[in-house]
Amino acid sequence: MLVLGIESSCDESAVALYDTKKGLLAHQLYSQVELHAEYGGVVPELASRDHIRKITPLIQGLLKEADLTLQQLDGIAYTAGPGLIGALMVGTCIGRSLALGLGIPAVAVHHMEGHLLAPMLETPQPQLPFIALLVSGGHTLLVEVKQIGEYKILGESLDDAAGEAFDKTAKMLGLGYPGGPAIAEKAKQGREGLYRFPRPMTNRPGVDFSFSGLKTFTLTTWQKSEQTEQDKADIALAFQTAVVDTLLIKCKRALKQTQCHNLVIAGGVGANTALREKLNTLDATVSFPRLEFCTDNGAMIAYAGSLRLAKGEHEEARITPKPRWPIADL
């Protein structure tokens, strides 16, 4: 079964072709980072307009790269939520309409299920059951996955998502957008041990997260400093280390609590090198997607959709993006 995946939930237009026998055939992505950079964050209306411009040429380029035609597709998978409503509408409308025109099934994919399954695109694939740490710009979740499609949320962020905390902190420090890579880069010049930031919610039981206090702590520390470039680097490092340590502690707890030995990391913050290094020290089998599949991409949507299409799932010819869509509803 040959599946076209379309992702347009935020600021990346991305498409991919996944074949259930041959695996991932091709994937292409256009990032809107430059478009939003001057505003210091994603401007939803600009995002949706740009998706309209980019998705169709991306699909054409993708088919050309794989030497395939639209008529050879067996199904289409598109991100239906969660995300920005206007941006979701673009992928949803194009995906659903193409499927209708071609007379093939289409399936609505949950963006976070896409992220969660991205490590399955790697060889060897992670073994089930596993615990997934989903750390993106909008979500921080610890999920127990016994079967694909069966997701039990063990813990989540009570306020800011980990990626959001990176983005807001970077903005405060004047490091620009997107904040995660900017903080990681600046932290390379930071001196270790100069500051000790709190590891939020680690001194009480449970695997929920909270990052907004850490963000405020960072701001106060920055305001009290002399605000030199070196201070900025030291504070970026202290912030990153605090987030990484917190995530490590909660992953350790989730593994212990479920007696599971497999940990899967997914979502944009999963691209953070310090996080990858720290989690690799855990006494568990830890799997990450390749860097380009940590952040938003079409491959994860094509893959997640192919599993659902192969089981005979498909959507009615209705367009129903869901800007809010709890993964537990799947």
Binding site for Zn ion (CB under 5 A): 136, 296
Residue 188 CA: distances (Å) to CA of 209, 230, 235, 237, 273 = 25, 11, 11, 7, 11
Choices 53-61, 265-273, 277-285, 304-312 (CB under 6 A): range interacting with ligand KG4: 265-273
Q: Residue 81 binds which one of Zn ion, ligand KG4, none, with CB within 5 to 8 A depending on kind? A: none
Residue 115 vs 186, nearer CB to ligand KG4: 115
Q: Contact letters (x/-) for ligand KG4, 144-183, by CB under 6 A?
A: -------------------x--xx----------xxxx--
Alpha carbons within 13 angstroms on the beta-carbon side of residue 91 total 39
Chain mean position to CA 132: 12
Q: Which is nearer to ligand KG4, 107 or 269 (CB)?
A: 269
Minimum separation from the CB atom of position 261 to ligand KG4 (A)? 25
Q: Least distance from C-beta 184 to Zn ion, angstroms?
A: 17
CB of 309 to ligand KG4, least distance (A): 22
Applying CB under 6 A, does 269 fall inside the site for ligand KG4? Answer: yes
Say which residues have a Cβ less than 8 Å from residue 264's Cβ, sequence separation at least 6: 116, 119, 126, 130, 131, 132, 133, 145, 286, 287, 288
Rounded CA gap, 29 and 13, in Å?
Answer: 6
Nearest distance from residue 275's CB to ligand KG4, in Å?
7
Scanning residues 119 to 138, which ones bind ligand KG4 (CB under 6 A)?
Answer: 136-138
Cβ count within 10 A of residue 192: 10
113 binds, among Zn ion, ligand KG4, none (CB under 5 to 8 A by kind): none
Tell me the sheet residues that pair with 44: none
Going by their DSSP bridges, the two strands 23-31 and 12-19 should be labelled as antiparallel
Nearest to Zn ion of 180, 190 (CB atom): 180
Contact assessment for residue 87 and residue 8, using Cβ atoms and an 8 Å cutoff? yes
Q: What is the dihedral of CA 45, 47, 48, 54, to 10 degrees?
A: 150
| 104 vs 143, beta carbon nearer ligand KG4 | 143
Q: Terminus-to-terminus CA distance in the chain, angstroms?
A: 23
Q: Whole-angstrom Cα distance, residue 329 to residue 36?
A: 32
Please report, as residue ranges, which positions from 178 to 207 form the binding site for ligand KG4 (by CB under 6 A). 178-181, 184
Binding-residue total with ligand KG4 (CB under 6 A): 20
Smallest distance from the beta carbon of 266 to Zn ion, in angstroms?
A: 9
Which tokens hold the place of 122?
Answer: 């790697």
* Among 3, 10, 26, 143, interactor with ligand KG4 by CB under 6 A: 10
Interaction between residue 271 and ligand KG4 (CB under 6 A) = yes
* Interacting residues toward ligand KG4 by CB under 6 A: 10, 115, 136-138, 163, 166-167, 178-181, 184, 267-269, 271-272, 295-296
